[in-house]
Amino acid sequence: MSLLGRPIPRMVELAGEATRGLGRVLEVAAGTGLVTPALAAGAGEVIATDYSDAMVAALEQRVRNAGVANVRCEQADLYALRFDAGTFDAVVAANVLHLVPDLPGALAALRRVVKPGGRIVVPTFCHDETGLSWVVSRALAVTGFPGHRRFTAKSLQQAVEDAGVRVTRTETLPGLIPIAYVEGTS
């Protein structure tokens, strides 16, 4: 993480700001829970999910270590979320959209579970944002580093808009592989 981590603290800060004061927040593809404590600090309730049982176990450990009581950790498939439509005030999917094989399906799943006018927060690594990130990304791919698509900040924003989300905030967070912070409403 130290190699790619320079934009991550700002991403975590922005995601926490986006959910501050909201009631129910869903975090999908939460991984080990890097963003989860920041979401929990300002939201009433956070349901943090990941597809991998091993990641959910690591997520639960991070939540325990952070001492937050308003987080429930669950295994969930991004494409088959078990929540009713319009359940959440916000949905956060941090650093996952570059990994999903079906981007329109993933964004549709997020839109389905957020309330009308609710927030959708999708900060994502942008492997094609700069010449250096393009080279680093391809070098990482040779080593087996995962990724299905290589966004620029502009192409990520366009994909989110194409999915029917009204983008309300964007910020490009510099780093070896930059992160485009994209936030919008359903």
CA triple 93-33-158, angle to 5 deg: 15
Decide if 56 contacts 84 (C-beta within 8 A). no
Q: What is the pLDDT of residues 103-160, one digit of tens each?
A: 999 999 999 999 999 999 999 987 776 776 667 777 776 776 666 678 889 999 999 9
pLDDT at 181: 97
119, 19 contact by CB (below 8 A): yes
Q: Inform me whether the pLDDT recorded for 5 exceeds 70.
A: no
Mean pLDDT for the chain overall: 91
pLDDT at residue number 135: 78
Domains and CATH numbers, the chain: 8-185 (3.40.50.150)
Contact by Cβ (8 Å): 137, 152: no
